[in-house]
Amino acid sequence: MPRAALIYSEVLAKFDYGDDHPFKPVRARNTMEMCNRHGLLYGLDVTRPEPFSADLKDLELFHTKKYIDTLQRANSCEHDIEMLAAGIGTPDCPILPGIFDFSLRVVGATLLATQLVQEGKTDRAFNLIGGLHHAAVDHAEGFCYVNDVGIAISSLLEKGKKVAFIDIDAHHCNGVQDKFLYSPDALIISLHEMSDGFYPGTGRSNEIGCEAGKGYTVNVPLAPKTDDEAYVDTFKKVVPPLIEAFNPDIVIAEIGADTVISDPLTHLRLTSNGYEEVVKMICEFSPKLVAVGGGGYDVYRTSNCWTLAFGVMADIEPEDEYAGLVGGMMYGGEVGGLRDMKIQTKGEDKDLVWRQARKAVEYIEQTIFPIHGIKNP
């Protein structure tokens, strides 16, 4: 059985949001090229299945029929007031030719990853163009027209599975959180930047779920300039204890690389080193793992991070036969540019980072850990 599956579609990678739009599906093609260059795509441990397109009934697991109909009309670039009311036709989510077809294939890719892992055909599966976690049940937002994560979680819940969703994207997973606020069978954990005016403005520590789902929504808001040291320490204190207590059947992880120091839309300061360490932890404690790409707007560094992530999933150390012959990218460049030099936030900025991180951890330890029977350290 292959250890890991990499879900990729050239059709998806070619889809274009426009020259001025920050969301670039071409990141997936760059990642495939980097994985190939570093020896990650061949051998018995890796499989590369072609994704299928989802059905309308799959979309209905999360979205309203009215919204699905509206998005379907946008496929041929129709324009009407209903589309704008549904968030389609905004700068974030423009009306694009073929957007409905693209959305169906993204959902199909995530469902394929889920199916492969659930059926025991692989231990871990990574859909490079997935993680559209902002889309709501009835509208598009944040570059996301459909919520493939929410659809995958809903499909697993229908089968009686317990699902943990871990989101390390820099932006809060508002669309996923809103859908499962009342569910005790879906544990939603998000580590994300929280600062004035930063999108989407949700994900505060006191958003912990409702009624039977109280304690199953976990938010870890982090200060701008949070670096590897603070991020990894915070992750270790919060996520592994919750996963152990919840004991999920399957873990879905959004491993967005917009947390890295060079991302143009965010203000965190991770390097590929901290990013890779967190992915390693996710792989270690996940009984079965579905990973989705999420954000990452420094296209090339995102591809580097996702290459490292897939190497971890496949238990293969990336090796670049051209290392040392070609210069690395800014901020470092060990192993052909995949790994960065260590960079730390210092001074008053680091003090603020630690205060915010410790405050978030203490709230979770005092408020959420007891719900799950976890003893405070």
Catalytic residue IDs = 134
Neighbours of 78 (CB within 10 A): 13
Q: Which residues contact 36 (CB under 8 A, 6 or more apart)?
A: none
Q: If we measure between CA atoms, which residue out of 188, 262, 223, 186 comes closest to residue 360?
A: 223
Under 8 Å between Cβ of 266 and 299: no
- In terms of phi and psi (left: phi > 0; alpha: psi -120 to 50; beta: otherwise), the region of 25 is alpha
Compute, in degrees rounded to 10, the torsion defined by CA atoms 154, 141, 214, 107: 20
DSSP 8-state class, residue 269: B
φ/ψ of 124, rounded to 5, equals -140, 140
Per DSSP, the residues of 130-162 read: ---TT--SS--BTTBSS-HHHHHHHHHHHTT--
Q: Can you tell me whether residue 376 is helix, strand or coil?
A: coil
Under 8 Å between Cβ of 116 and 88: no
How far is 257 from 125, CA to CA, in rounded Å?
17
